[in-house]
């Protein structure tokens, strides 16, 4: 299926997760309501992956972001493989420093995460069915 055909297909909010690669979803996305977002830093710090940023979305934000990816398929198809894109809306992002601290300091899992609400940069990857999905968080 070509990206131009995808543009003519109606966006299904129930399939929002399918607009993200499984790796991006597992490593960079936390979905919960406003109260659960307050717990995101704790969840983020427990993660045992070498990922420095997590995008925290409620269900409505998830659908909005997935809808944006759906609408931008033609743009992604025309771009070079190494292009970076920026979300059109701001999202809650929890980040921690990427440099590894000396052994005498806190471990990566213990570093305090900082919060910001901002657009973020990402790259996409084409799937076998021709769709482009968010694949890499770029800050």
Residue 103 lies in a domain: no
DSSP states along 59-118: HHHHHHHHHHHHHTHHHHHHS-TT--EE-SS-EEEEE---SPPPTTS--GGGSPPEEEEE
* Cβ atoms within 10 Å, residue 28: 22
pTM of the model: 0.79
Residue 15, in any domain of the structure:
yes
CB 122 within 8 A of CB 83: no
pLDDT in 10s for each residue of the chain, 139 residues = 554 455 558 899 999 999 999 999 988 888 987 777 666 666 666 666 666 788 999 999 999 999 999 999 999 999 999 999 999 999 998 887 654 555 555 555 456 667 889 999 999 999 999 999 999 988 6
State the residue range of the domain holding 131: 3-93+126-137
Q: Is residue 98 situated within a structural domain?
A: no
Q: Is 132 helix (H, G, I), strand (E, B) or coil?
A: strand
């Amino acid at each position: 299926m070509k990206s131009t055909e995808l543009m003519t297909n109606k966006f299904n909010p129930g399939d929002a997760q399918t607009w993200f690669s499984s790796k991006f979803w597992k490593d960079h996305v936390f979905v919960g309501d406003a109260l659960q977002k307050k717990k995101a830093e704790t969840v983020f710090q427990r993660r045992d992956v070498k990922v420095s940023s997590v995008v925290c979305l409620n269900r409505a934000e998830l659908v909005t972001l997935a809808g944006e990816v759906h609408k931008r398929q033609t743009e992604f198809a025309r771009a070079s493989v190494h292009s970076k894109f920026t979300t059109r809306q701001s999202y809650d992002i929890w980040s921690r420093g990427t440099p590894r601290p000396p052994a005498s300091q806190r471990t990566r899992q213990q570093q305090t995460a900082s919060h910001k609400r901002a657009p973020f940069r990402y790259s996409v990857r084409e799937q076998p069915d021709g769709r482009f999905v968010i694949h890499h968080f770029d800050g």
